[in-house]
Amino acid sequence: MTKLSEDEAAVEHKLIELAQDGDEEAFAELVQNYRIKVEKIIGRYVDDEAEVHDLRQEVFIRVFRALPKFRGDSSFYTWLYRVTINAAKNYLLAKSRHPPITDIDFENAELYFTSKVPHETGSPERMMISRELEDRVFDVMDKLSDDLRIAFILREVEGLSYDDIADIMDCPVGTIRSRIFRAREVINNELQKAQKK
C-alpha cells in the first residue's frame, strides 16, 4: 500500500470528517477510493465473485455504522483493512471454510524463501520446478494457523509495516514479528524437505 501524499491525506481526512457528520457524498467518495482494494482483500478469502461483492457491501455498511467511532489512531486504510479481514474471516467461519491462498505472485515469493531453485528463466525445467514449488508453498500456507497465515500475507503479499499489521491484528508488534518469523520458518523448512525428495 503506497503512502498517501500530504495533499491526499488532507483530502481523505476531510472526507472522513464530512462522512462522520453524515455527508453521504463524502462517504460515497471514500467507498469509491477503496472499493477495489476491499474487493482484492476479500478475494484472497472468497472465490465466488458474487459473494465478494456481497461481502464488500457488508464491509462498507459496517464501516458506515462504525465511522463515527473512528478516531484516527491508525490510518483509515489500516482500520478499513481490519474491518474487511474480520468480515471475511467471519464469513468463512460461518461457512466452515479456511482462507484459500491463491494469489501470491510466485516470482516474488521466491525472494522471501531461501529455496535453491535453478535460475534459468523460461526453461521448461525451470517452469516445472517453479510450478511444483508454487503448489508446495500454497499447500504449506493453507496448513498454517490463521494467525500465522494472516500475518504472513499482510507482510509478504500486502507489504504492510509491522506496526500496521499489529494494529490490524490487535496485538503487539513483537507478536507479529514472531508470527511472521514462524510462518517463514515453517514454509522454508517444508520447501527444503520438498527439494530433497
Share of the chain above pLDDT 70, in %: 75
Residue 128 pLDDT greater than 50, yes or no: yes
Q: What pLDDT, on a 0 to 100 scale, did the predictor assign at position 27? A: 92
Q: pLDDT band for position 189 (50/70/90)?
A: confident
CATH number, domain containing residue 176: 1.10.10.10
Q: What pLDDT, on a 0 to 100 scale, did the predictor assign at position 129? A: 55
CATH number, domain containing residue 46: 1.10.1740.10
Q: What pLDDT, on a 0 to 100 scale, did the predictor assign at position 92? A: 78
Query: Which of 31-35, 80-84, 142-146, 173-177 has the weakest average pLDDT?
Result: 142-146
Same domain, 176 and 133: yes
Which class for 134: exposed (0-12), middle (13-18), buried (19 or more C-beta within 10 A)? middle
Average pLDDT value for residue range 148-174? 84
Note whether residue 1 is domain-resident.
no
Domain count, the chain: 2
Give the global pTM.
0.58
The cell numbers describing 174, all together, are 513483537
Same domain, 20 and 85: yes
Amino acid letter, residue 196: K
Residue 149 pLDDT greater than 90, yes or no: no
Q: Which domain holds residue 112?
A: 106-196
Same domain, 112 and 91: no
Average pLDDT value for residue range 118-131? 52
